[in-house]
Amino acid sequence: MRETITLEIADTMSPSEVVAVVLKTAVTAFGGAGGMVAIASDSGEGLEIIGQLGFPETVVEPHRHLPFHPPTPATAAYRSRAPEFVETLAEFKDRYPELARATTGITGTRALLCIPLFLEERAIGVFGVTYREDHLFSTEERASAVAFAARAAQAIGHGLKRQGPSTR
């Protein structure tokens, strides 16, 4: 990641269109196979996936609501307010055995990143990118992902604010 990753967002876009742009940009920029965006659930008991790219619905639908227990990379990043980087399949299976068991055979996920999204120092959700091969994240790549998350959070937050709470 040598340059700033640009998000092409228009004020007229719906929240789902904003999320689609964020996902396409993230997966392309970070060389992943798939990606997702999840925001804090209205109940406060976990995260809700509001957009995904590159995963079959048979994998996404049972995991659309991510409770805090058992932890997933997304919920861990959200709760700790720190990025989660999983670089190998062995690490994925060791740290998140239930999720790895349920998804790896279908998605081929071996490595991933999940970065919290902040608005005015408040965590609103996470974005994640998955890889079908082990992936060692360089210091530069980690910094780029965090910087991208800041821009993505602003775009998603702006879109959700325009949408209003009752239609989420």
Give, for 117, the enclosing helix (H) or strand (E): strand 111-119
The domains located in the chain, with CATH, are 15-167 (3.30.450.40)
Euclidean distance between CA atoms 13 and 24, whole angstroms: 15
Pairing status of strand 65-67 against strand 84-86 = unpaired
Q: What is the DSSP letter of 167?
A: G
Give the tens place of pLDDT for each residue, 71-110.
Answer: 999 999 999 999 999 999 999 999 999 999 989 999 999 9
Whole-angstrom CA distances from 37 to 3, 90, 139, 140 are 23, 24, 23, 22
Token couple for 133: 């091969």
pTM for the whole thing? 0.90
Give the tens place of pLDDT for each residue, 11-68.
Answer: 668 888 999 999 999 999 999 999 999 999 999 999 999 999 999 888 889 889 999 9
Taking alpha carbons only, the member of 156, 154, 73 closest to residue 115 is 73
Contact at 8 Å (CB) between 18 and 159? yes
For 50, phi then psi, to 5°, come to -105, -5
Taking alpha carbons only, the member of 139, 165, 133 closest to residue 83 is 139
